[in-house]
Amino acid sequence: MINITSLPDAWEMVERLGGKEACEKDELYDIYYKISTAIFDYRLKYDLSQKKLAEKLGVTQPMVAKLESGDYNYTVEQLWKLATKLNFKLSIDFEEIKQNEYSVFSREEIQDDIADYEMDFLAVGS
């Protein structure tokens, strides 16, 4: 029988395999993705070409391509200027993260309700 409570934590495995730096970079890539998709969605919403959007932003068309691809390292000032020209709200949260110490199985009586699965019940091939 496999006791599912003995399986390793997925996030611990990701951190162990990729390292803490990889996990932190993932958050950065999420930020770049949100910015690039917002710019791309804006351009589509207003039926603008990259060239027309570049004119609106006061940048070149290749710069718009970089902005939309997420292949650009923005400064806060550049983000503020982009947001202002596109009539976007720019908000940056910069605060300490509170560490919560909890577990999915925080009470012993919950652990008693966990089902054990036997290998015999797993389908093999079809």
98-125 pLDDT tens trace: 887 665 655 555 555 555 545 454 455 5
**Residue 69 included in any domain:** yes
pLDDT digits (tens, 9 = 90+) for 61-83: 999 999 999 888 889 999 999 99
Residue 72 lies in a domain: yes
- Hey, which of 20-29, 40-49, 73-82, 96-105 has the most confident mean pLDDT? 40-49
DSSP reduced 3-state for 56: helix
Residue 63, domain CATH: 1.10.260.40
Nearest alpha-carbon partner for 82 in 106, 63, 97, 99:
63
Polymer length in residues for the chain: 126
Structural domain contains residue 51:
yes
Looking at the 3D structure of the chain, how many domains does it have? 1
Structure tokens, 113: 């309700």
Q: How far is CA 53 from the centre of its chain?
A: 26
User: Domain limits at 68?
Assistant: 9-91
